[in-house]
Copies of this chain bind each other. A is one copy, B any other.
Amino acid sequence: MKIIEGGVCAAKGFKAGSVRCGVKESRTNDDTAIIFSECECTAAATYTMNRVKAAPLYVTMEHLEDGVARAIVANAGNANACAPDGMENARRMAKAAAQLLGVAETDVAVASTGVIGQRLNIECIEEHLPELVLEDNASEKANRAIMTTDTKPKTAAVEFTIGGKTCRIGGICKGSGMIHPNMGTMLSFITTDCAITHEMLTDALQENVKKTYNRVTVDGDTSTNDMCIVLANGMAGNTLIEWQDEEYQAFCKALNEVNTRLARQIAADGEGATKLVTCTVKNSRSEEAAERLAKAVVGSNLVKAAMFGADANWGRVLCAMGYSKAPFRPEYVSVAFESAAGSVAVCDKGAALDFDEELAKKVLSESEVTIAVDVNEGEDSATAWGCDLTYDYVKINGDYRT
């Protein structure tokens, strides 16, 4: 497997584009993107588990019910959640894209991100979407069009081989705030030219989001709009993947690579974040327990604030593990902080270690920091990703709407 450029346009037959429709008057850059496949795709998606779901999610569910699609249209600036005329406007958005692309309305998936509770200005989308031009290399352009408080685009792509055929998977996503995905993520769009059945694609996606996007937390708030869509157009020419065979595993491995890279980028670019905080938990009695522990650690406001202050306050790590509801024995736990600047063991079998505070400060001042936990009682492990809690998070969210 090779890491390549090209994001959502890396796979054969996929184009993208974006345009400024004026969804939010104050926004001067593009706010609406389209991802398009030259031929029909097998499609799978996961959606937020939030009981309050935005209208575009229901429309996308309907349109993907037959397992096929051709395009995704997405806007930033308005979530179209709890909004007047929500369903009607989400449908009109799909229709506008379908007309531009010359495909059936039911072959278009719709996604939105932005403020909740305000009517989507669908008229401006209908007016300006026809100006959108599809290009072969517009992945980053489309990516930037769906950014809200994100500070950078988030992309990943890989090339791998199935039965002698070169296949590619690429994706773009947005994240930043209200990020605590549950069976989906805040808008992640993946394309692949691999030939794979709808059933296999769905299985691969469902399994993989649990270990990637669903292990990211920025602020513990699960959005109303989370969505991850994969389109597979089969243009790589590989023999159709129909079973959970070796080729399916190769596909899953590549998908995992792309999704893990995107998930890490979401965590690192969490609202106000200055650093990516990874928690690895090993030697747990089950993967589920390890996952709960790792997520509790990266989700703790107190751990996050300590990471911002580069403070090796490992008591907060144990405290967060303690309320995670996962089984473990405090007296078995060892903790170390690691980064490019080195590694510092701070707790051994539940007991404090004397450690070099200056080195710890240096380790925790890097832009990527790992909290390495060993629970010393089993063989399973899990990794979760988050970021630090900063003044800027408060600033961004103290007045996001206005």
Contact = CB atoms under 8 A, between A and B. Distances in A.
B347 A398 contact: no
B117 A305 contact: no
Interface stretch (A13-21, A280-288, A313-321): A313-321
Interface residues of A, number: 65
A1 interface: no
9 contacts: A50-B319, A51-B321, A52-B318, A82-B352, A116-B313, A178-B302, A178-B319, A182-B323, A301-B397
Contacts of A398: 305-306, 308-309, 311
A2 B73 CA distance: 63
Given A51-B322, A84-B351, A223-B319, 5 more contacts: A115-B315, A117-B314, A182-B323, A305-B396, A311-B399
Interface in A307-359: 308-309, 311-316, 318-323, 328, 330, 347, 350-352, 357
A242 to B, nearest CB: 36
Interface of A: 49-53, 79, 81-84, 115-119, 177-178, 180, 182, 219-224, 299-302, 305-306, 308-309, 311-316, 318-323, 328, 330, 347, 350-352, 357, 389-391, 393-402
Contacts of A323: 49-51, 180, 182, 221-222
Given A220-B220, A301-B220, A398-B305, A315 B51 contact: no
Contacts of A318: 52, 82, 116-117, 224
Contacts of A389: 394, 397
A118 B182 CA distance: 37
A221 B300 contact: yes
Which 8 A-B pairs have CB atoms at the shortest separation, nearest pair first? A116-B315, A309-B398, A52-B322, A305-B397, A50-B322, A222-B323, A117-B315, A309-B399
A389 B394 CA distance: 7
Contacts of A309: 397-399
Contacts of A395: 391
Contacts of A178: 302, 316, 319
A303 to B, nearest CB: 8
Contacts of A119: 352
A302 B177 contact: yes
Contacts of A402: 311, 357
A221 B305 CA distance: 12
B399 A320 contact: no
A52 B330 contact: yes
Contact of A81 (B302, B315, B328, B357): B315
Contacts of A312: 401
Contact of A394 (B53, B223, B328, B390): B390
Given A51-B323, A397-B301, A397-B302, A330 B82 contact: yes
A301 to B, nearest CB: 4
A82 B305 CA distance: 20
Nearest to A328: B51
Given A316-B116, A316-B221, A323-B221, A394 B82 contact: no
Q: Which of A118, A219, A391, A398 has the most CB of B within 10 A?
A: A398
A51 B292 CA distance: 13
